[in-house]
Structure 1
Amino acid sequence: MKTPVETAVAVWKPVLIRALVAAIFGISTIFLRDPEVSLLKYGVAAYLVFSGTAMWEYLRREPVPEAMRGPLSMAAAAWMVGAIVLLFLSDTVAIAWVAAATLLLGGIAELVAWARHRREFIPARDQLYTGLIGVGTAVGLALFNHLDPHGLLGIIGGGAIIIAVVMAISGFGFRHDAGSEADSAASGGFPGGAPKD
């Protein structure tokens, strides 16, 4: 089903931004051989902050249903709060549990957004996949919280890579559906999709 043009114009950028954030974090975890605890907590915190920022930008777009902004705001807020808490931790098990709780809350919030709005708002269907990935990553962290920083980054990074792929496919799909209108938005205009103040 093709996404309405005004919706596609409004959402393709923030969707691709989230994909880029997830891709950068996920790919970077592949090349970290023996990361310190500090790199684990700061890296995951940065990933959560930038993911939350991308989500805020997404939910501010005009076509996003007002009622859908509630659960998505909760997801973004959970990621932000989780990032702050991580900065004060120095134990890998504690970091694993906090990251798991943060991703679980965000995942559940996205699943709620999907369940309530998937029929009326086509982009909401993406929240099924991102929500399940978030919950799945949280479960993985809870089950393997004893791993070292490299192992924990592998779990979170693996989930991030999957999210990056899903969001990239979706974002480029919206970009295609937007057609020539996307070029106008890219040059500074936001027809049908200006972010709310």
Structure 2
Amino acid sequence: MPAAKAPAETAAIMWKPILVRALIAVIFGLTTVFLQEPGLGVLKYGLAAYFVFSGSGLWEYLRRDPVPERMRGPLSIAAAVLMLGAIALLFAGSVFVAGIIAAAALIGSGAAELVAWAQHRKAFVPARDQLYTGLVGALSGVGLLLFLNLDAHGLLGIVGGGAIVIAVVLAISGFGFRHDAGPAARAGEGPRAPRS
């Protein structure tokens, strides 16, 4: 959550991709709450889907013009780690292996987001979100490693709980940036096209 107000031009471009990431996280997090007895298939395909959508959302975020060039490197690594984790999960033959793969993906992507935060938090206000998303993601991965003896429901609960925290943080941030953008956000004005 940004402690300082972002420039209106930056806020007008960044609030939507931030809220998209929040939406992805809250959908996954709430889904895990309602799953009663998920098996290995639900665990690995559910986590894989979450990683794919999260990686895609992060990719769309980092491609926006205001994101500093040097910040795109660590964020690209975070997105790539999630995508690789999603692919590896498809081949997991047990809940234990799926937990290890998911933990590695979450810790790796979280660490990359923390690098982005550490390097750019002063110059780019939205980068301050990476402290929370990176930390919660990495801690979720550590939680998986600490409780690998849990069943699929327990492992999904750990990741889903982290996802809900991330969703809340990003929702606060995204709506805050929408407010900072002022009329440009409400009218849909301002440059929004991502850099390719």
Classify the TM-score, shorter chain: over 0.9
Task: Give the unaligned 5+ runs of structure 2.
Answer: none
Please give the alpha-carbon distance, in whole angstroms, between the structure 1 residues aligned to 2:191 and 2:117.
22
> Number of residues paired by the alignment?
193
Shift of 1:90: 2.2
* Deviation per residue, 1:55-100 (Å, 9 max, x gap): 0110000000000000000000000010001011120110000000
TM-score, structure 1 length as denominator? 0.96
Shift of 1:184: 3.6
TM-score (norm 2): 0.96
For the pair 1:50 / 2:49, whether they are aligned, the reply is: no
Q: Specify the alignment match of 1:165 in structure 2.
A: 168
TM-fit CA distance, 1:50: 0.4
Aligned to 1:26: 29
Seq. identity, % = 62
Aligned equivalent of 1:134: 137
In structure 1, which of residues 45, 66, 69 is the aligned counterpart of residue 69 of structure 2? 66
User: Within the alignment, does 1:6 sit opposite 2:5 as a pair?
Assistant: no
C-alpha separation in 2, matches of 1:66 and 1:196:
11
Counterpart of 1:181 in structure 2 is: 184
Aligned to 2:18: 15
Amino acid at match of 1:196: R
Deviation at 1:2, TM superposition (A): 1.2
Letter in 2 for 1:135: A
Amino acid at match of 1:194: A
Counterpart among 107, 110, 120 of residue 107 in structure 1: 110
Q: CA-atom RMSD, angstroms?
A: 0.9
Distance (Å, rounded) in 1 between the aligned partners of 2:104 and 2:98: 10
User: Structure 1 unaligned runs (5+)?
Assistant: none
What residue is the counterpart of 1:148 in the other structure?
Answer: 151
